Structure formats: structure tokens, C-alpha cells
Amino acid sequence: MRRDQLLRQVTGLLALCAALALLLLLGMLLAESRPLLGHEAPLGLWRAVWAPSQGVYGLGGLLLGSVLTVGLGLLVAALPGIWLGAWLAELAPTAAGVLVRLAVDALATVPGVVLGFAGLWLLAPLIRTHLGGPGLSLLAGALVLAVAMLPTVVTLTEAALRAQPRAWRDGALALGATRRLALATVLLPAARPRLRGVLALALGRGVGETMALVMVTGNAVALPHSPLDSVRTLTGNLVLEMAYATGVHRSALFVSGLLLLLVTGLCLLVAGAWREEGAA
């Protein structure tokens, strides 16, 4: 039994190291944020102007850029994603279901940088010629993000529907409903809290997406007046400026990282609460 004791201690230590990574991240963000938080009045952080060369570090515009892009992207991805997930869970013929799932899983492995390249090569020129503006825009970012979030929405929607008691569907079918009708009137309405949770999780993922957005949003710091204008997101700003930032500018980037962590953490918590409500 001494060997079991040893195994327990070694694996416990490894688990502790894993947990440490999270604490390290939080500690870094807090410690490196201090210089700016001392230098700025808290309200100043929410200004929309990000101009490091003039010592102005307002995160409002970047946050707005992230929120608008991800929100619009989710708006585009939500309906097709939920529809496809529901189709996979209830209506798909076996062979077609297998193929579509394979395609969705493969789409989920496509790296952000490849999605960004596709947006740059296909989407931006289309937007520029048919809708106007510079092409590299909020709209391009949202559409690329919609593709990035689609697999998450599809897979989790299917899982959410499958997690519901079989008796609900069987009952509806026994009452004479078609599968389609049972889906529309019983299964989807009953899954509403879970589906909200699915969308919140997708939102959290979208906010963290970096490369695809850096490549297609144009990254202008000015506030967008229309979806055809360029935007800069929190993640994009970090990856563009971190390598050369110093002093207060560098600290401001860590503050934006803290904000990013808060936003994604919030999405995860909200998603968890909604999914538990759905399971109850």
C-alpha cells in the first residue's frame, strides 16, 4: 500500500501544478495592471479613446469592438447552429448525420489563422465591392466569427437536446405529433435554458478569438459608425501591441487582458447557471 500512497502524492502534486497555472495567470494580470490603475482614475479606463502615443488608455472602444463583433457574429451563427444541432439530434438519417457531424468536427479544428485568411481572401473583397467601405470591417469579423462559433453551437445544441428525457419526445409522438412537430413544440421549448447556456458558451469562445479577427477587422482604433467600418478588438489589440509596449502602455495591455478574462469568465459562469437551470 506504500506504493498507492506514493501514487496519490505524486498525482496530487501534478494536479496542484495544473491548478497553479490559473493562479499564476490571475496573479500576473493583477500585478502588472497596478501601474496603470495607480496612474488612471478608474472612470478614465472606460473612455473610448485608445491612444498610447498620447498616454490615453481608454478601453471602452476596444471592449465595444469586441462586443459588437462577437454579438453580430452570434446573431448570424445562432439560428443556423441551433437548427443544424436540432436536425442532428432528432431528424437526420443515420448516414447523413454521421457525415455532417464529421464535417462539423472538422470545421471545429480549422485554426483561426486559416479562417482569417479565408476572410481576407474571399469575404473582405466581396464586402468592399458590393457593400462599400474598406472591406476589412466589423461585418467581415462577425461573419468569420460566426463560422468559428458554428461548430460549438451545433455540437452543444445536439448534446443539450439529447440530454432531455426520452419520455417527452415519446409522449409527443404517441399523441400523434410528427418528429418535426415534437421538436418545435416540446423539445426545443423545453431546452430553452440550456440553449441560452450554449449561446453564452459560444459568446465566451468568440470573445477570445484572436487571429481571425486581427486579420479581417482592419484594427482601426476609431469607433465604428456602421458594420462596414473597421474595428479593433481587445484580443487584437493585445497581440498587435504587446511585443513593443513598455511602461504604462504595457500595463494598460495587461489591464485589457484582465478585462478580457473577466468577460470570458462571466460568459462561462452565466452559461453554467443556465445549463443547471435546464438540468433541474
Partner 1 sequence: MSGGWEHLLLNTLALAGLALALALPLALGTAVYLHLFARTRVLRRLLRLGLQLLAAVPSVLIGLLGFWLLVVRLGLGWSLLSGGLTLGIMLLPGLAATTEAALAEVPAGQREASLALGADVAQTLRHVDLPAALPGMLAGVVLAVARAVGETAVVLLTVGTAWGPQGLGGERLLEPGRTLAVELYLLATEGGSAAATWRCALLLVGVGVVATVLTRLLGSRRSA
22 binds partner 1 (CB under 8 A): yes
> Which residue among 52, 204, 224, 278 contacts partner 1 (CB under 8 A)?
204
210 binds partner 1 (CB under 8 A): yes
Minimum gap (Å) between residue 15 Cβ and partner 1: 4
Q: Which stretch binds partner 1 (CB under 8 A): 41-49, 127-135, 221-229, 258-266?
A: 258-266
Q: Which stretch binds partner 1 (CB under 8 A): 39-47, 126-134, 165-173, 255-263?
A: 255-263
Minimum gap (Å) between residue 167 Cβ and partner 1: 25
184 binds partner 1 (CB under 8 A): no
- Do residues 259 and 185 touch, judged by C-beta distance below 8 A? no
207 binds partner 1 (CB under 8 A): yes
Q: How far apart are CA 143 and CA 243, in angstroms?
A: 28
190 binds partner 1 (CB under 8 A): no
> Which residue among 52, 58, 81, 116 contacts partner 1 (CB under 8 A)?
116
Minimum gap (Å) between residue 39 Cβ and partner 1: 19
164-182 burial, b if ≥16 CB within 10 A, otherwise e?
beeeebeebeeeebeeeeb
96 binds partner 1 (CB under 8 A): no
197: Cβ contacts below 8 Å, ≥ 6 apart: 160, 270, 271, 272, 273, 274, 275, 278
Sign of the dihedral defined by the CA atoms of residues 120, 261, 244, 134, in that order: positive
Judged by CB under 8 A, the number of residues near partner 1 is: 63
> Which residue among 155, 164, 217, 251 contacts partner 1 (CB under 8 A)?
155
Minimum gap (Å) between residue 266 Cβ and partner 1: 10
The region, left, alpha or beta by phi > 0 then psi within -120 to 50, assigned to residue 53 is alpha
> Which residue among 69, 217, 230, 235 contacts partner 1 (CB under 8 A)?
235
How many Cα atoms sit within 13 Å of 73 on the Cβ side?
33
117 binds partner 1 (CB under 8 A): yes
> Which residue among 59, 82, 238, 255 contacts partner 1 (CB under 8 A)?
238
> Which residue among 46, 55, 105, 174 contacts partner 1 (CB under 8 A)?
105
199 binds partner 1 (CB under 8 A): no
99 binds partner 1 (CB under 8 A): no
Q: Which residues bind partner 1 (CB under 8 A)?
A: 1, 3-4, 6-8, 10-15, 17-19, 21-22, 24-25, 28-29, 32, 101-102, 105-106, 108-114, 116-118, 120-121, 151-152, 155-156, 159, 204, 207-211, 215, 235, 238-239, 242-243, 254, 257, 260-261, 264-265, 267-268
